[in-house]
Amino acid sequence: MTRSPIITVSRGRFSSTATQVLEQVRAAGRASRDEIAAATGLSIATVGRTAAVLVERGLLRERPDLARPGATGRPGVPVEIDPDHYVTIGVHVGRRIATVALGDLTGRVLTSTTVRRPLGSEPDLEQLSREAATLLGSHPGRVPLAAGLVAPWREIGLLPTGREAELHELTGLPVRTGDHISAVAAAEFLHRRQGQQGRDNGGLTLYLYARDTFGWSVAVDRGVQTDVTRAASLTHFPTGADVPCACGRSGCLAAALDVLPDVGRARVLGAAAGSVRDMLSPDRVVLVGQAFTGDPGLLDVIVTAYEEHTGLDHRVPVSFTRFGSDIQAISACTVALGPVLDDPLACVELTGVEADGACRPGA
């Protein structure tokens, strides 16, 4: 139950066959057994056996109605993630609000609730576990497989140490923790990748996040595995603005954004993005969070400032991602998928429940 500073979002060919099949189906949205075999390098026989087990356990479902014309036998029958049996529990702890959510195995948030918490207080994981139980009660038949615990730990003055084990003790589920910005980056990667079968995902993607917190994280695609690194703060990134900051210096990013007018904020954000881009030289840049995306009329201002403050080739793609008000729930449920994708069959075994809701013998 130890915490890792890295969020693994794609495990590749060194993972178990069940994980490879599940990840390929999730990335493609829907795939036949022969397509999975071609993409993973596994044999048709291995894919067939593995897909059959995943269907039996309720992780995948067959779609014979969508079989290719002329396809014969099961190798040509598509399978997709079954969103109806299992859920993950996502818990996000913010400065004043905690969010508890249920997500299906595609990463879609099914329902969520928020709980106010005193500023600077310890997260009440027992209360949040009760909120999760209430949400599960409103979705009868759903079986939880894993939980994710996400927070901007540094910004709220807390450490994740020990809290992963505490939430595991309260829920009995495998638990994964993550930093908020890294979790948002992982969510963007997984949702962008779904239906694209891995296209436009190679290399290094830089994520810059700006909302209540400011920072960056990168997704590193090594071909056999993709990881999102621990987030780095941009709260005190120098902007050159003549604005005093509580840290005693002037021109820190967060302080400047507090007082500048809208266009000035957009230019400062774009300039910061361009400067960080030059330091890391990524293959693509993704800007996330309401400070970046809240005003569509200022997106061009951000991009112009970004291009003016980068000395590198401007052809590096830059894009904006909007998650809206569900960003806390989405990021926490994405992190909760980690244990499931690490070992999907082991997570199902821990539940002691068959896909039809019956208890397995001996469970």
Residue 363 has pLDDT above 70, yes or no: no
Predicted local confidence at residue 64, as pLDDT: 87
Q: Give DSSP secondary structure letters for 170-233.
A: HH-S-EEEEEHHHHHHHHHHHHHHTTTTTTT--EEEEEEEESSSEEEEEEEE-SS-EEEPPPEE
Spatial separation of the C-alpha atoms in residues 287 and 292, rounded to whole Å: 6
What residues pair up with 214 in beta bridges, in sequence order?
210
Q: Cβ–Cβ contacts within 10 Å for residue 6, how many? A: 13
pLDDT in tens, 237-296: 999 889 999 999 999 999 999 999 999 999 999 999 999 999 999 999 999 999 999 999
pLDDT in tens, 309-328: 988 776 788 999 988 778 99
Predicted local confidence at residue 354, as pLDDT: 57
Q: Mean pLDDT across the stretch 178-207?
A: 79
> What's the token pair of residue 158?
């807390």
Residue bearing the bigger pLDDT, 158 or 74: 158
Q: What are the residues whose beta carbons fall under 8 Å from the beta carbon of 123, sequence distance 6 or more? A: 93, 98, 117, 151, 158, 163
Strand (E) or helix (H) holding 111: strand 109-116
SS3 31: strand
What residues pair up with 32 in beta bridges, in sequence order?
78
77-97 burial code (b ≥16 CB/10 A, e <16): bbbbbbeebbbbbbbbbbbee
What are the backbone dihedrals phi and psi of residue 227, each rounded to the nearest 5 degrees, phi first?
Answer: -125, 150
> What's the token pair of residue 276?
């960080």
pLDDT band (50, 70, 90) for residue 52: very high
Predicted local confidence at residue 193, as pLDDT: 64
> What's the token pair of residue 279?
């330091």
Strand 175-179 to 109-116 pairing = unpaired
Q: Mean pLDDT across the stretch 140-155?
A: 94
pLDDT band (50, 70, 90) for residue 76: confident
Residue 1 has pLDDT above 60, yes or no: no
pLDDT in tens, 301-313: 999 999 999 887 7
Residue 199 has pLDDT above 50, yes or no: no
Predicted local confidence at residue 203, as pLDDT: 87
Predicted local confidence at residue 37, as pLDDT: 93
Question: Dihedral of the CA atoms 143, 148, 149, 154 (nearest 10)?
Answer: -170
Phi-psi region of 321 (alpha: psi -120 to 50; beta: other; left: phi over 0): beta
Spatial separation of the C-alpha atoms in residues 228 and 224, rounded to whole Å: 14
Residue bearing the bigger pLDDT, 37 or 159: 37
**What is the pLDDT of the chain when averaged over all its residues?**
89
Predicted local confidence at residue 359, as pLDDT: 44
The one-letter amino acid code at 218 reads V
Q: Where are the alpha helices (DSSP H) in the chain?
A: 17-28, 33-40, 44-56, 125-137, 163-171, 180-193, 253-259, 262-280, 290-293, 299-308, 327-342, 344-351
Q: Mean pLDDT across the stretch 58-71?
A: 84
